[in-house]
Every structure is written in C-alpha cells, then in structure tokens.
A and B are shown apart, each in its own frame.
Chain A
Amino acid sequence: MNKRFPATALAAALALSLAACGSASSSTSNSGSGDSATIKIALIPPTTGALAQFGTDAVKGWQIAVDEVNAKGGIDGHKVELLKKGTDGDTATTLRVAKEAVAKEGAGFIGAVMTSPEHAALNAQLQGLGALSFNALGKDDALVGDQCAANAFHIVQTNSMDINALAGSIGSMPGNKWAIVAVDYATGHSAAKEFTSAAKAAGKQVVSTQFAPLNTTDFGSYITKVKSSGADAVFAVEYGADGIAFVKQANQFNLTKSLKTVLGFNMVSEPLFPALGASIQGFYNNVGYDVAGDNTLNKTFVSDYTKKYGSAPYYVPADNYVAAETLFAGIDKADSIDPEKVRDALDGLTFDSIVGSVTMRADDHQLLRPSYLGQVVKGDGGDAFKIVATAQPDKTTPQAESACSF
C-alpha cells in the first residue's frame, strides 16, 4: 500500500476542517410562514463549536420575548416570527446567512450574532441590506467606534464599560501585586491595558502580563510564570473552555490558594459554575446582568424563563431579551415595522427593561445601562453571584467616539 502522502493527508485535513468551518444549518421558524405584516427576526448564533451553548441560550432569550408579545397579540397588531439559523461563528458564514435571511426570507431585523468580528463584518453590510442588527453579545469597543453603523444597535456593555465597572473596586480588593493572564485577542489586550491603568491609579502594581492564544489547553507554563512573579492577585481574561482549563490547572498548581484575589473578566459565568467547581467561591467577576434585579419586568422574565427552561437566566439569554425589548420599544415608538423608521425611533429612546430604565444613545447606538461586580458565593441551589458593586452608565460609559459617524 502506498504510504507516501503525509503532506497530502495533512492538506486534506486542513481543507476539510476549513470546509467544516463554513457550514451553516438551515432555518426553522416558530410560527410558520408569516404574512407581509409579520415582524421577521433572523437569529444567527453559532450552533457548533465551543460557543454553541451560548448560541442556544441566546435564542432562548429571544424566544421568551417573542412568546410574550405574541401572547398579547403582537406589537401594534404585528405578530413576530423568529427565523432561527445556525453558523459556526465564522464571519463569512454569518454574512452569507444574514444576506439570505434578509433577501430571500424578508427578515428586517437580525439578532443573536455572537462574536465581535462577526458584528464588525455585519455592520459594514447592514445599510445595503436594509436591516437592523441588535448586538447582545459582541463587546469590542470598536463596534461603537470606527466599526459602528447606523443600523446597528449595541445592547451589551462594551469591554470599556465592563472594565470601568471593575476599576472602581480594584483599590478595595486584597492584593497589591497583580498578574494578568489574558486571551491573545483584541478583547484580551484591551482589557489588560485598561486594567493596568486602573490598577496603577489604585496604587497597585502589575508584576506580570501574559497573553495565551485562544483555545489554549495547557496553561502550565503561564501558571508557572505567575507563581514565579510573586503575584498575590490575578486578573484573568479567559473564556469558556479556556477559562475552565485555566482555573482547573491553577488549582492543580495550588496557585489559587496562594492568591488573595482572583478577578475574572468575562471568565466566570453561571453556565460554567458546575464545571469550574467549588474552587471559584470567592472569585470576583464582572456581571452584565443581575438576575435578582428588583423590577417587575425582570421578575416576570426570570419566572417565565425558569418555568420554560428549568433554570434561571444568565447574561446571554438576558441580554438577548433586552435586545428584543429594544426592538419592540422601537417598533412601538415608530408605529411601523419599517427598519428605517424603527431605527430613527430608537435614537435617544428611553424605555423600561429588565435591567431598569435604559437609553439608546443616539451618537453611537450604545445602550446606556448599569454594570456590576459580582463575587461567587455558595448559595442554596449551588454557586451564585452576589452583586458587590453597581456602576451606573454615567460612570462606566465612555463618551461616544468621534470615529463613529452615521
């Protein structure tokens, strides 16, 4: 048997991997074919890969919101239909699926797109598509900076907003020598830079900064360097599977026990609590959504969500629910389902949501909403976030960038 094809085999493996990356699943809708007055929203989350769980949960947020309005007869008499798509989070696939949903199926609104690169690419196409996008997941500041678009609405807090929410509390956290371990990604670099400034302003020292490539499985060398740096506190920016591997391995190296503070940035979240284990009790992390938020809308949402899906919502479904609330508030104000009229109605609009009263800033379409610092504590039903600090949008939200011009 001929065995002289190792290079061919590797090339085939890479090609097949790339081919798989370009896959997209077909759509399903939840209310059959709609008529011309139906509000059609294309949901384009990742349904495969490491982000699939978040994609599934993003759709749940939209579904609850749509079920609620349809049960009340729709918005201004218009029923809402979700066109559920699926991608692998690849930019090209997402763009293709978005174009098909708008051009062939008549979607006027897009939601549940996940990563910042996907949003950046989508923002550039929105005007041509004549559709509005509601970003409840991509946190890159550039999305409301030089990548902003008149048809794009940034529902989730940006990285700067999240870091600013933490910055006010760094001074009161135990530990003076901080080590940073961040994902080698735009978000990781900007978070490390902002944190370093905030730590210095609070009189703390940053003794080590390391960037680990996305999908790092072995953090041994990073943890060893943190230990030898003499750090007594760690700021970690690692997501999903990377974050779990980092926390687990830090425990195996006995790093966590030797630290006074572990502050995560988008690292610790409710769906990961079981996998992260009890060792994260005491960890701090930014929290985008307070499930215990004391307002009627939130209580109804938490109740409906828990009843339908068997567990309380966390930031992914909650932020997507806020995205739906934003869209519906815009349609209500515009008294129209025409995307252009909805867009104009949303400029500067203040409305009540599950995160309290929020305002859509007209300058860059950033939703002004509070941010939180949480600490993981042992609760009755397992680990939970205890909100230890709340930062209002006037403290966390930078001025709209001049680079953003509609």
Chain B
Amino acid sequence: MNAAQVLNGIALGSLLMVLSSGLAMIYGLRGVTNFAHGALYMSGAYIAYSVSLHVSFWLALVVVPVALALIGVVLELVFFRPLQNRSHIELGLVTFGLALIAERVVVLIWGEKTLSVDPPPGLRGTTSLFGVEYPTFRLAIIVAAVVMAVALVTWLRRTRTGLYIRAASQDLETAGIMGIDVNRISLIVVSLGAALAGLAGALAAPYVSLDPGMGDTFLIIVLIVVVVGGVGSIAGAMISGMALGIIQTLTTVWSPSVAVVVPYVALVVVLLWRPQGLAGRRV
C-alpha cells in the first residue's frame, strides 16, 4: 500500500465529507430525508461548469454555494416549513419528486451529453508530497474539506447560532419553547446544507464527469454515510464520510468488486451493532 493510495482515499473521503455534512444538517434539524440532496450536488456541478466556462473556476466556488443556498431558502419556505407536520415518507416523496424535476431541468439547460470541467491553471498537474507525485487538484479538495470541517465545527460550537442549531437539532419543540426562533434556524440550516451540497458539486466537477445522473450515484452512498455516522450528527457524518472514502479506496486496490459493497456492509454492521450510528445523537 503506498502513500498515493492513502491520499486517494482521503480525497474521496473529503468529497463525501462535504456532501454528507449538508445532508446530516438538514436531517438533524428538519427531520427530512432529503432525496434531492444528490440533485443539489449535481446542480452545483453543472452551475460550476457554466461559471468555469465563461468566467473562472474560482468564481464558481463562490457563486455555486450562494446559488444553492438560495435554492435551499426556496426548499425551506415552499416545502419543508409548510409540510413540517406531514409524515417523513410524504416529505421524502416530495424531495424525490424534486430530484427528478431537477434532473430534467438540467437536461433541458445543459443537454444529455456528458460534460467535463478542467481544474483551474494553478491546480493542474501534480505536486510532490511524501515522496509521491500527487494531483494538485485532489490535494486542494482535501484542504478545502478540512477548512470547511474546521469552520463548520467552530461555528457550531463557538457561536450563538451554532448553539441554537445544536439545541434545535436535539429537540425542535423544546428549543422553540425556550425562545429560539426555530424557523430562522431552519432557514439557516437548510440553506447552508444546500450550499454545502453545491460546494461538493463544484469541487467534484473537475474530479468526475458531469451527467444528469451523477447525483444518483452519490445519493445512496451519502445516505449510508449519514446513517453510519449517526442520523443528524454533522461530526458523525464527516467522520464516517472520511472513513468510508479511505476504506472503500483501499479495498478497491485489493478487489474493486468487493469495494462496491463496502458501504452496504458498513450500513448493515452499524445498524446491527450500533443503530444510533457512530456518533449517536451528538450534533
């Protein structure tokens, strides 16, 4: 096993970390299993494609999270808030329908052809690290994910809004009774969760290829990451995302066919052994 393979695992884990933290945030607070999360990720990648093509990838890293945050505001105000007293399955079906709509909208705007995005000039080629030449863009993804994780955890732990989010994620009704504006908190969380999905899409655009079904590939894996991490636990999702990325990549080196089932095995093992997930209900 060489250092490059470990870095491959960390790079994939970084992408899963960013994507799953947004899903975990929304589930933790709203209790919504957002099946549209993969579509948000895909939309982020396609918007990043257009911004990169016409302006620059660096601008895409700013524009995409902002655009997806606005979509998150719409999700919260039009769907999640009015339907908050409906059953989980109903809300899940709504988000699933939204995902299908998003896929068709992407086809209408960008077409069915597979697209690709080049890394920005400063992040092309390789960089020497631990004695191996490793793609600079993958290293940038790892750095971006670490910065995001540190910023998110600091924000949740050190700020008043973060305190409210943690409180509301534990018990929304009691948090409301205690005077927390849960609607405002939900709006922040859903828009931030969507923004993170968009950021993951923008980071993934030069990493993978773009097609309208790209969100589906990741959705199931990210749902598993969130369940394994502890449903609603942001830190748990980050840790399990990183762990799954590394384990799956290293298993691929040994046997690609076995690596495909690693997430599902992890899901079964965790549900049997620790159904509350690795981090339980700790946000």
Contacts and interface: CB of A to CB of B under 8 A. Distances in A.
B193 interface: no
Contact of A12 (B12, B92, B172, B213): B92
Interface stretch (A211-219, A358-366, A386-394): A211-219
Contacts of B35: 13, 16
Nearest to A212: B256
Given A10-B223, A220-B11, A241-B214, A213 B256 contact: yes
Nearest to B133: A254
Contacts of A242: 209
A78 interface: no
A17 B5 contact: no
Nearest to B30: A1
Interface stretch (A102-110, A168-176, A190-198, A271-279): A271-279
B5 A245 contact: no
B116 interface: yes
Interface string A1-30: 111011111101110110010000000000
For B136, B260, B277, which residue has the most chain A Cβ atoms within 10 angstroms?
A: B260
Nearest to B31: A1
Contact of A275 (B33, B88, B114, B219): B114
Contact of A248 (B116, B220, B223, B224): B116
B256 A210 contact: yes
B102 interface: no
A214 to B, nearest CB: 10
Contact of B249 (A3, A17, A218): A218
Interface stretch (A46-54, A140-148, A340-348): A46-54
B253 interface: yes
- Top 5 nearest A-B pairs by Cβ distance? A220-B8, A244-B209, A252-B135, A9-B33, A1-B31
7 contacts: A6-B271, A9-B33, A12-B89, A17-B216, A217-B217, A252-B206, A253-B133
Given A17-B216, A240-B114, A254-B126, A224 B5 contact: yes
Contacts of B96: 13, 16
Contacts of A213: 256-257, 260
A49 to B, nearest CB: 5
B166 interface: no
Contact of B256 (A7, A20, A211): A211
B153 interface: no
A56 interface: yes
B138 A252 contact: yes
Contacts of B161: none
A274 B111 CA distance: 14
B67 interface: no
A56 B112 contact: yes
Contacts of A217: 207-209, 214, 217-218
Nearest to A248: B116
A50 B217 CA distance: 11
Interface residues of B, number: 66
A20 B136 CA distance: 38
A272 B250 CA distance: 30
Residue of B126, B249, B256 with highest tally of chain A CB at under 10 A: B256
B198 interface: no
B55 to A, nearest CB: 19
Interface stretch (B58-66, B70-78, B117-125): B117-125
Contact of B2 (A212, A228, A274): A228
Interface string A258-289: 00000000000001101111000000000000
B273 to A, nearest CB: 14
A299 interface: no
Nearest to A253: B135
A53 B112 contact: yes
A253 B217 contact: no
Contacts of B5: 221, 224
Interface string A52-68: 11001000000000000
B40 interface: no
Contacts of B8: 218, 220-221, 224
B249 A248 contact: no
Contacts of B224: 10
A49 B211 CA distance: 8
A96 interface: no
B267 A10 contact: yes
Nearest to B117: A248
Given A224-B4, A272-B114, A3 B271 contact: no
A93 to B, nearest CB: 16
Contacts of A210: 256
A220 B253 contact: no
Interface in B245-268: 249-250, 252-253, 256-257, 260, 267
A221 B116 contact: no
A184 B256 CA distance: 9
Interface in A187-240: 210-213, 215-218, 220-222, 224-225, 227-228, 240
B269 interface: no
A275 B31 contact: no
Contacts of B93: 16
Contacts of B212: 49, 52
B100 interface: yes
Contact of B116 (A3, A220, A277): A277
B137 interface: yes
Contact of A253 (B88, B126, B271, B277): B126
Given A8-B89, A13-B219, 7 more contacts: A10-B224, A218-B249, A220-B8, A225-B253, A241-B208, A244-B116, A249-B135
